[in-house]
Chain A
Amino acid sequence: MFKKLIQESMGKSPWLFHINAGSCNGCDIELVSVLTPRYDAERLGFKLAGSPRHADIVVVTGPVTKQSLPRVLRAISQVPEPRCIVTMGSCPQSGNVFRGSYSVAGPLSKYVHVDVDVAGCAPKPEAVIDGLALATQILKEKRGQMK
């Protein structure tokens, strides 16, 4: 009984962990504006976690530079299953304008399975909320499969 209660409660409040993989800061600021009172994703249950071990959803911004790649993979590996990886902006999906640079190791999908892509440069906060809502659904499905 308690297990069911915990499962349901976790589905209603997914915690986010934000990884900056060499982003230009545009997407990071948009993510902050999603979480702060103007768009206030916390009213929908999303909460920014300080540690990857507390997180359900990982939001990655930036083109995944060579310097950041081992840290990104290490942080993602510390997130417990079921987890959902969301890429924010064009950079982690393709490299965007940084594609082909000597210091870019991306796209992120080369290294880990990416669940949701939010396109835009930078995406509007509304688009990020859409992406997080989709991630919550995917998380729910994954949690159902794990039982």
Chain B
Amino acid sequence: MDLPFVKEALQQLFSKSSCAMYPVVPSEAAPNYRGRIVYHPDRCIGCGMCERVCSGNAITRMVEHLPEDQGDKITLTFNLGSCTFCATCADFCTTHSIEFTGDYHMVATKEEDLLVSGSFIKAPRKKPAAPAKAAAPEKAAEGCAAAEPAAEAPKPREDGKPVNDPAKCVYCTLCARKCPAGALTVDRAAKTWTLDEDKCVACGTCAEACPKNCIIL
């Protein structure tokens, strides 16, 4: 009598199990797996870009005004129960304050357990230094409006906010469109570039968006 598959059957009987024995043998996520979000509020500048690009509306930003000019307390909450784990927020974050970890154990009985939250205090702008600094971009803008050739490129500022080089600028308005805080106003007709110091969060998105590399940080 011919016994088909006997060899195969015996081999399978004594071979190792192909099953992943998960709860007994712990399993690591693959490298670059996008799991639980870790938020670093110490690095965050509160530009709001993550909230703007989030497709699942998983990110909420709360701004609480503290008394006596102590600044604003900004709280970012990531709802993992609404997250698509696309990591677009982390890609857009200029300060790398959003991190996706390999922790996939996101099991909860309450919705609050799936919230990742962090807050930081944004210090108010120093009042005495403001007028001198505010004058700089206006001066640059005026210089261009009068069509005076700028002798040399403007120097970068100490506070990390952008300065425009009117000699290179073509007033394409890309920087104003990319600005997450709406701090830039560019007028194509009048050829002016103005920065609202109060709104600017010094994220550097404008400099990245600039096709002529004329924004200096």
Measured CB to CB, the residues of A under 8 A from B are 37-40, 43-44, 90, 93-97, 99-100, 109, 115-121, 123-127, 129-131, 133-134, 138
Contacts and interface: CB of A to CB of B under 8 A. Distances in A.
A100 to B, nearest CB: 8
Contacts of B84: 90, 96-97, 121
18 contacts: A39-B19, A39-B20, A90-B82, A93-B82, A94-B79, A95-B82, A96-B84, A116-B107, A117-B109, A117-B113, A119-B107, A119-B108, A120-B85, A121-B83, A121-B85, A123-B104, A124-B33, A127-B104
Given A127-B105, A134-B107, A119 B83 contact: yes
A72 B80 CA distance: 24
Interface size bucket, B side?
A: 20 to 34
A119 B106 contact: yes
Interface string B1-35: 00000000000000000111011000101000101
Contacts of A117: 81, 107-109, 111, 113-114
B82 A94 contact: yes
B57 interface: yes
A118 B107 contact: yes
Counting from the closest, the 7 A-B pairs by CB-CB distance are A119-B106, A94-B82, A93-B81, A124-B104, A119-B80, A131-B107, A40-B19
